[in-house]
Amino acid sequence: MPGHSVGIPCPRLVLDHLAITARTLEEGVAWVRDSLGIEMPPGGSHPRMGTHNRLLSLGASDFLEVIAVDPDAQPPAVGRWYGLDSFDDSPRIGTWILGTPDIANSLAHAHPDSGPAIEAVRGDLEWLISVPADGSMPMQGAWPTLIQWPSGPLPVTRMQHRGCALHSLTVRHPEAGSIATLLQPQFSDPRIAFETGPLALEATFDTPSGRRTLR
């Protein structure tokens, strides 16, 4: 799998969140409720992308997001992120998102289909996130999206925590070995495993009702 090679060392990446894509926000929230026994807390809307979400803290530094097209929003001038323009399936973990302090530098080391960094807004919060022009996800979501939050406390510190924490994430893809190799110089997390096989993202959580899995 090709990547860009530059002389500047890439900053370390950290797991930021998992994004559950759904046809409607209600479907995504119901899937989490049925699978994890947890009600997703409120989130907000993204005017530039015409989407809305729900957000759940998974601890001090990562969180779970359910995101879908907002039927009340104006259609965006660009492709909606996370491939939502063409999403017509049951809810699933669409992709995983890694945080970086320097998204321009990180994108120089990333998969070439990652797209540019664009500005995103939710309420009074602004950030940078990698989105291909057509809104698609690199390697169908197996390659992570990159995000850079503004300086200061991470947004997760303002989200509701309901006793749920990520135990493990398995990234399954025919080129899983190449994904792991390309990420290895800048990313390491013992909770993340890569397996060669048909595309799937599978996450296991420790919840108040025991260990539960989204698959």
The CA–CA distances, whole Å, from 81 to 2, 117, 157, 161, 206 equal: 23, 12, 24, 26, 28
Does residue 175 sit within a domain? Answer: no
Does residue 142 sit within a domain? Answer: yes
Does residue 69 sit within a domain? Answer: yes
Does residue 170 sit within a domain? Answer: no
Q: Residue 156 is part of which domain span?
A: 14-162
Instruction: Write the CATH number for 112.
Output: 3.10.180.10
Taking only the tens of pLDDT, the chain with its 215 residues reads 444 444 567 899 999 999 999 999 999 999 999 999 999 999 999 999 999 999 999 999 999 999 999 999 999 988 999 999 999 999 999 999 999 999 999 999 999 999 999 999 999 999 999 999 999 999 999 999 999 999 999 999 999 999 999 999 999 999 999 999 999 999 999 999 999 999 999 999 999 999 999 98
Domain count, the chain: 1
Does residue 36 sit within a domain? Answer: yes
Does residue 204 sit within a domain? Answer: no
Angle at 68 between CA 207 and CA 118, to 5 degrees: 105
Cα–Cα distance measured from residue 108 to residue 210, given in angstroms and rounded to the nearest whole number? 40
Does residue 97 sit within a domain? Answer: yes
